[in-house]
Amino acid sequence: MRIDLLSLFPEYFRGPLDESMLRIAREKGLIDVRFVDIRDFAEDKHRRVDDRPYGGGPGMVMMPGPVAKALDAVRGEGSYVIHLTPQGERLTPSLCKEFALKEHLIFLCGHYEGIDERALGERVDKEVSIGDYVLTNGCLAALVVLDASIRYLPGVLGHEEAALQDSFEQGIFDYPQYTRPEVFEGKEVPLVLRSGNHAEIAQWRRQQALKKTALVRPDLKERR
Ligand code: SAM
C-alpha cells in the first residue's frame, strides 16, 4: 500500500514510523510511506501557507492554493484522500478495515484553525475524526488512523487472528491478559488459564470481557 502524509511538519512522523510495527511494515515493503511538505507548494517567495480568517476570529487558516496543489500532485487513479478533522466521521474498526483495502491512502493533516474549505470538497474522499476532542494538528490523528488501519493488512501483525480478537471486534473489550510469572505481588494467574481446558478458558475469557465492558462502556454492550 502506498501512503502519502501531507502536512506542514513532515519530520513529525519520523519517530513513530521508524519504530515497532510501522517500521517492520515499511521494511517488509507492505507499506511505502512518503512525506509531503505542503509548504513546498506555497505560491509566494516567502513560502506562505496560512493567512487570517475572513470574517475575523482568532488564529490562522491554511490557504487553499498550496493544499490543493499538494493534493493534486500526489492524487491519481486508486488514491483515497482522508482529511483529518474533528468534524469528520468518528474512526471505527470498520472504517479502518475499509481503509486497509485501498491501494493508495493520502492523509491530509490540518494545522492552525484548519484548512480553507475550497481546497477540500471533491478532492477529499472521507473526513475522519479520531474522537470528540481537539488536537493541535492533524499529524497525530493521521498516525492513529494509519496505525489502526494497517493492522488489517495481511502480514503486518504476523498473526492475523490477533486483530480479530481485539477490543471492539465482537462489540466488546478483549479479555484480560496474563503471562509469567505465575505469582506476582501475591496475585496468582487465574487457575482456569492454567487448566489446559480450552472450552473453559474461552468461556471464562468471554465472561471477563463482558463484565469489564458492562462496567466501563455500558454503551458498547447496549449497541451489541
Ligand atoms: N478549528 C477546528 C475545529 O474546531 O473544528 C480545529 C482545528 S485543530 C486546532 C487543527 C487541526 O488538527 C485540524 O485541522 C485537524 O487536522 C487536526 N485535528 C484536531 N482534532 C482532531 C480530531 N479529533 N480528529 C482528527 N483531526 C483532528
Residues 106-131 pLDDT 10s: 999 999 999 999 999 999 999 999 99
pLDDT digits (tens, 9 = 90+) for 125-162: 999 999 999 999 999 999 999 999 999 999 999 887 77
pLDDT digits (tens, 9 = 90+) for 18-71: 999 999 999 999 999 999 999 999 999 999 999 999 999 999 999 999 999 999
pLDDT digits (tens, 9 = 90+) for 79-106: 999 999 999 999 999 999 999 999 999 9
What is the reported pLDDT for 111? 98
Length in residues, the chain: 224
Which residues carry out catalysis? 86, 113, 151, 166
**Ligand 1 centre distance from Cα of residue 37 (Å):** 18
**Ligand 1 centre distance from Cα of residue 66 (Å):** 18
Structural domains in the chain? Answer: 2-150 (3.40.1280.10), 167-223 (1.10.1270.20)
- Whether 13 shows a pLDDT value over 90: the answer reads yes
**Three cell numbers written together for 201:** 478458558
What is the reported pLDDT for 184? 98
Cα dist. 147→19, 108, 130, 204, 218 in Å? 12, 15, 12, 30, 26
- Whether 164 shows a pLDDT value over 90: the answer reads no
Could you tell me if the CB of 86 is within 6 A of ligand 1?
yes
Please give the number of the atom of ligand 1 that sits closest to the Cα of 109: 16
pLDDT digits (tens, 9 = 90+) for 185-197: 999 999 999 999 9
Could you tell me if the CB of 140 is within 6 A of ligand 1?
no
- Helix/strand/coil for 176: coil
